[in-house]
Amino acid sequence: MRKEFKFEKIERGDSKNVINLFFTDRMAYHQGEYEVEIIDVSGDFGEFSKEWFLDRAEKLRSLVPNVSISTDVIVGFPGESDEDFEYTMDVLEKVRFEQMFSFKYSPRPLTKAAEFTNQVDSKVASERLKRLQVRHTEILDEIANAQQDKIMDVYFEEARDSGMIAGRSFTHFLVQVKGDESLVGQTRKVKITNPRRLSLYGELC
């Protein structure tokens, strides 16, 4: 069974419940029986603008309610101006990534970028990274708080020593409830009673 999306390229993945959507960034989400992975193929379609990226992210959210979008960000790449960084911050505000892996650029031996003369000052790059990560942490708190009292389908994977059992919602949230290993491998409905940034806590319905 295939779910249709209007993107540049779509094809069946290796698993029967995986669909690959080709896009400019790497993302993944779970929606019902589907796990969709958006694979980085930015070199295949030429140049991309900020507006192009925002348009695709908006389309993805409109097509798939509760989609979770993740991204990788490197700040301070040679030549990155203040304006360039503000573009990054604006994309963060508009897309509100559910997950973000962010790093400060550092030169690597035998790479062309290490030879560029327009290196960004390390202190400036560090300040940009801190600002990016602080704002993303705030967004994660806002996203988590919005889950209060929601009922989610959760697939339980792990019993923990604390007397809790942990699993993932179909929207990829880590969810924990009181329970034992008998719940491992089961999908159960959970009401979220105490949302936190790193984990949502709830009760079995």
Residue located via tokens 């295939």: 2
Q: Is 27 in contact with 13 (CB distance < 8 Å)?
A: no
Note the pLDDT of residue 20: 41
Q: Which fold does the domain 71-146 belong to in CATH?
A: Transcription Regulator spoIIAA (3.30.750)
User: Nearest-CA neighbor of 64 among 156, 140, 172, 138?
Assistant: 172
Confidence of residue 3 (pLDDT cuts 50, 70, 90): very low
Q: Is the predicted pLDDT of residue 196 greater than 80, yes or no?
A: yes
Q: Quick check: 10 pLDDT over 50?
A: no
Task: Give the integer Cα–Cα distance in Å for 165 and 154.
Answer: 11
Average pLDDT over residues 99-112: 92
Same fold, 71-146 and 151-204: no
Give, for 123, the enclosing helix (H) or strand (E): helix 122-145
Least confident of 64-78, 91-105, 119-133: 64-78
Query: What type of residue sits at position 45?
Result: F
Number of helices and strands (H, E) in the chain?
A: 3, 11
CA-nearest of 53, 154, 160 to 38 is 53
**CATH: 2.40.50.140, 1.10.3720.10, 3.30.365.10, 3.30.930.10. Which one for 151-204?**
2.40.50.140
**Per-domain boundaries in the chain:** 1-68, 71-146, 151-204
Say which amino acid occupies 127.
E
- Give the tens place of pLDDT for each residue, 33-79: 344 444 444 344 445 678 888 888 898 888 887 888 888 999 999 99
pLDDT the model gives residue 199: 94
pLDDT in tens, 132-188: 999 999 999 999 999 999 999 999 999 988 899 999 998 889 999 999 899 999 999
Q: Which residues of 129-159 are buried (b: 16+ CB within 10 A; e: fewer)?
A: beebeeebeebbeebbeebeebebbbbbeeb
**Tokens at 122, concatenated:** 């390390």
User: Does the pLDDT value for residue 14 go beyond 50?
Assistant: no
Res. 27: pLDDT tops 50: no
What's the rounded Cα separation, in Å, for the pair 4 and 55? 18
